[in-house]
Structure 1
Amino acid sequence: MRTIYKTDNGILSQMESFEPDVWVNLISPTMDELTEVAEYYDIDIADVRAALDEEESSRVQMEDGYTLILVDIPFEEIRNEQKAYTTIPLGILLVQSAIITVCSDDTVILNYFYNNRMRGFSTKKKMRFVYQILLRTTNLYQALLRVIDKKRSEIEKRVGSETTEDRDLINLHELESNLVYFATSLSANKVVLERLTRYERIKQYPEDKELLDDVIVENRQAIEMTNIYRDIIHGARELVSTIINNRLNNVMKFLTSITLVMAIPTIISGLYGMNVSGKWMPLSDTPHGFLIICGLTGAVCLSALLILKRRKML
C-alpha cells in the first residue's frame, strides 16, 4: 500500500500524487508501487526493497541523489500461541524533494505520525522527521521492555506456590528470546545513530542535532534496560527450574519412603505365607496370634515412619 502525506501549517493531508516535500509511506507494497517510486525519484529498486527483507541489517548507505537509512523496529507477533516480540527492518529513504518510508508491516511507530499525534511534525523538515521516527522507535523499545519485565514479575509471583508449572519456564524462555532480538537490534541501531551524527548531506538545524542527541541517549538507555532485564530473567528462569526440580525430588522422596514402609508388612506376610510347619512360625499356635502379628507389624511400620520423619524423608 502506498500513501502520500504532506504537512501545511501543521496540518497533515493525504495527497493523490507526488509533490515536493511529501512523505511517501509504503506498507507491504506491491512490485508496481515499488517500481513507480523508484523510477520517479531515481532510486535503485534494490534499495527501495531492502526493508522488505527480514534479514537486512541496520545501516546508513549514501548513494548519488539519495540516502538509505535502515533500522530495526520492534514488532508484535504470535509465537507458540502467545504474544511475543521481534524486530523488523524499517527503511527510510531521503531524497531532496521527499522522504520515503518502507516497511513490510504496518507499525505503531508510523501510525503515530499519520494520525497526526506528533507535535512539531513536518514533512518539510526531513532530518527532524527521521530523528522523530528514531525517537519513537527507542521509546517503543523501552515501553515493550517494561511490558516484558511486568510479565516476568507476574511469573516470579507464582514462584514457590503450587501453581508454578513447566509452562512458566517456557514463558521465561520466550521473554528471554524477545530480549535477545531487542539487544541485537538496539546495538545495530546504535551504529546507525553514530553514523548520523556525522551526516551533513541534508541541512540540519541546531534543534535537530539536539533531538538526535536525545535519541542516542534513549537508545543507550534501552540497551542498558535490555541487558539488565535479560540478566534478571535468566536468574528467574534458573530459580523456577530449581524449584520445579526440587518439588519433583520431594515427591520422589515421599514415594520412596512410602514404598519402604509398605514393604514391611509385605515381607512379614510373605514369611508367614511360606509352606513350612506351623510349629516353627512364632505365635502360630497362640490365641489371637493374627491380631498380635498385625499389631507388631503396625508398630514396626509406625516406628519406620517416625524414623523417616526425623530424618526429614517425609
Structure 2
Amino acid sequence: MVRIYKTIDGAIHQIQEPEEGCWIALTNPTATEIFEFSEKFDIEVDDLRSPLDEEERSRIEVEDNYTLILVDVPMIEERNDKDWYGTIPLGIIVTGSMIFTICLEDTPVLTRFMEGRVRSFFTYMKTRFIFQILYRNASMYLRYLRIIDKKSEQVEEKLHLSTRNEELIELLELQKSLTYFITSLRSNEVVLEKLLKIDSIKKYPEDTDLLEDVITENKQAIEMANVYSGILNGTMDAFASIISNNMNIVMKVLAIITIVMSIPTIVFSAYGMNVAGSGMPLSGSPLGFLIIILISVAISVVAAIILSKKRFF
C-alpha cells in the first residue's frame, strides 16, 4: 500500500502524486511498487526491501543522495489466541526533497501523523519529522511496557490459587515480549547515538532538544524493560514453586481422605468374605449391621481427628 501525504496550509492532506516536501508511506509494498520507487527516486532496491525483513537490524546507512534510518518499532501480535507484543523494523529514507517510511504493516507510531494529531508536524520539515517519529516510537515502547506490567499483575493474582500452567505460560509470553523490547531498544539506542554524529541529517537548533528527549525516552524505556524483566523472572520462579506446592497440598488432602475412607472399607471387606457367619462378631445380633457401621464411622472420625491435630489437613 502506498499513501502520500503533504502539509498544506498547516494541515496534513493525502495527495495522489509525489511532490517536493511530501511524505510517502509504504506499507508492505509489492515488488512492483518497490522497483517503481527505486527507479523513480534513485533508491537502492535492497534499502527499500530491508524494512520488510522482520529480522533486519537497526542501523543508519548514508548514500550519495539519501540516508536510510532503520529502527525497531513495537507492535501487537497474536500468539496462542491472545494479544502479545513484539517488534518489527521501520525504515525511514530521507532524500533531498521528500521523506519515505517503509514498514511491513501499519503501526501506531505513524498513525497519529497520518491523522494529523501531532503538534508542530510538517512533512517538509524532514529533520523534525524524523525526530518526532523516533520520539513517538520511544513513547509507544513506554506505553506498552506499562500495559505489560499491568498484565503481569493480573496474572500474579490468578497464580496465588492456581494449580495449572496457563498462568505461567502467560508470564512466559510477557517475558518473551520484554526480551524483544530490550533487544530492539538497545539497537535503537545505537542508532540515536549515531544520529548525533552524522552530518547527512541536518540538525537545527530548535530540533536538538527534541533529539535529546528521544534519547532520554529510549533510555527510560530500556531501564523499565530491564526492571520488569527482572521482576517477571523472579515472579515466574516463585510461582512455579507455588503451583507445585498447591498441587502437593491437593494430593495430600486426597491421600488423607483415602486413608480415612479405607478404614470402613477394610471392615466391610472382612464382613463381605464368603465364610461361616458364626465366626463373625455380631453376626447373630439383629442390630449387628448398624453396630458395625457405627464402629467403622467412629474409627474413621477418630482417625480424622488424630490427623487433624497433627495438621495433616
TM-score normalised according to structure 1 size = 0.91
Question: 1:232, CA displacement in angstroms?
Answer: 2.2
1:55-86 Cα distance to aligned partner (Å, 9 max, x none)? 11111112222111110001112221111111
Q: Deviations over 1:254-303 (max 9, x none)?
A: 11111111222222233344455666544555674444433332222111
Alpha-carbon distance in structure 1 between the residues aligned to 2:153 and 2:101: 37
CA–CA distance in structure 2, aligned partners of residues 202 and 19 of structure 1? 20
- Is the 8 Å Cα contact of residues 58 and 70 (structure 2) preserved in structure 1? yes
**Compared CA separation, residues 108 and 287, structure 1 to 2 (3 A):** closer
Gap regions ≥5 residues in structure 2: none
Q: Deviations along 1:119-147, whole A, 9 cap, x unmatched? A: 11122221211111000000011111111
1:153-172 map, 5 Å = 153-161=153-161, 165-172=164-171
Q: Aligned partners of 1:275 and 1:103: how far apart in 2?
A: 83
1:230 counterpart residue number: 229
Q: Which residue number corresponds to residue 64 of structure 2?
A: 64
Aligned mates of 1:287, 1:13 — CA distance in 2: 100
1:201-225 deviation line (CA, Å, top 9, x unaligned): 1321122221111111100100111
Report percent identity of matched pairs: 48
CA deviations on 1:29-60 (whole Å, 9 max, x unpaired) are 12222122211221111111111111111111
Give the alignment's Cα RMSD to 1 decimal. 2.2
Change in 2 beyond 3 A, CA 1:284/1:134: same
**Match of 1:303?**
302
SS in 2 for 1:236: helix
Partner residue in 1 for 2:250: 251
Aligned to 1:176: 175
3-state SS in 2 of match to 1:77 = strand
* 1:93 to partner: Cα distance: 0.8
Cα offset, 1:227, TM superposition: 1.2
| Alignment TM-score, normalising by the size of structure 2 | 0.91
Which residue of structure 2 aligns with residue 206 of structure 1? 205
Which 5+ residue runs of structure 1 have no aligned equivalent?
none
Once residues 186 and 178 of structure 1 are traced to their aligned partners in structure 2, the CA distance between those partners, rounded to angstroms, is: 12
| Structure 1 residue aligned with 2:194 | 195
Task: Trace 1:87-102 onto structure 2 (pairs within 5 A).
Answer: 87-102=87-102
**1 CA distance for matches of 2:243 and 2:86?**
29
- State the shift of 1:186 in Å: 0.8
Structure 2 counterparts to residues 1-314 of structure 1, below 5 A: 1-161=1-161, 165-274=164-273, 281-284=280-283, 288-314=287-313
Maintained 8 Å contact 2:159/2:167 = no
